[in-house]
Structure 1
Amino acid sequence: MSTLTYEAFLDEVTTVLTELYDLDDEAAIKLVMAAQDAEFFVPHDDHEAMRTVEQAGKDAVTLFERKQNRQQTQEKQQQRVRQKNK
């Protein structure tokens, strides 16, 4: 299986996000950039074998699921705050 450059790998993750989850380019790029800021991709930069198209697909799913989980957690916290303030 061939490996990608780090930049091409990030582009592939972004592309998979737009294709699988119908995100627009801006939202997908923002998600990938946030993951970079959180150092999610550091192992990929260090280990070329991790930069494959298959891994990009797996990472796209992971990033999207984490985003969904964060949103659900925030919504639940906001509901609790609203209920307390009633």
Structure 2
Amino acid sequence: MTYEEFLDEVTTLLHEIYDLDDAAAIKLVVDAQDAEYFVKHDDQPELRNPEQARADAVALYEAKQNKVQTQKKQQQRVQQKKRPPRA
């Protein structure tokens, strides 16, 4: 499959597997492109297959979830530091 077809497949799988709306799935793929996640897929056509698309969709979603969880924990720590000590 072409590079563009591969990215479309990853986007579709994000929508189907994780029930992301189209905009969220597209943003996840575009952000990954910006971070050069798919460079090897562009250079190595053998990586552009349905199995790899599924693996990449899962990896991208899990990485996003981990990032969100980390941000929540950091925000909780900041909030705890702002609270005055109890008397």
TM superposition score category, shorter chain reference:
over 0.9
Alignment TM-score, normalising by the size of structure 1? 0.96
Number of the residue aligned with 2:10: 13
Number of the residue aligned with 1:45: 42
Question: What value does the CA root-mean-square deviation take over the aligned residues?
Answer: 0.3
Q: Greater Rg, structure 1 or structure 2?
A: 2
Number of the residue aligned with 1:77: 74
Query: C-alpha displacement at 1:82, in angstroms?
Result: 0.1
Tell me the secondary structure at the aligned position of residue 72 of structure 1: helix
Measure, in 1, the Cα distance between the counterparts of 2:23 and 2:38.
19
Query: C-alpha displacement at 1:9, in angstroms?
Result: 0.1
Segments of 5+ residues of structure 1 without an aligned counterpart are: none
The 5-angstrom pairing of residues 26-37 of structure 1 reads 26-37=23-34
Measure, in 2, the Cα distance between the counterparts of 1:71 and 1:7.
28
Return the match for 2:59 from 40, 53, 62. Answer: 62
Segments of 5+ residues of structure 2 without an aligned counterpart are: none
4+ residue runs of structure 1 moved beyond 6 angstroms? none
Measure, in 1, the Cα distance between the counterparts of 2:76 and 2:17.
30
**What count of residue pairs does the alignment treat as equivalent?**
83
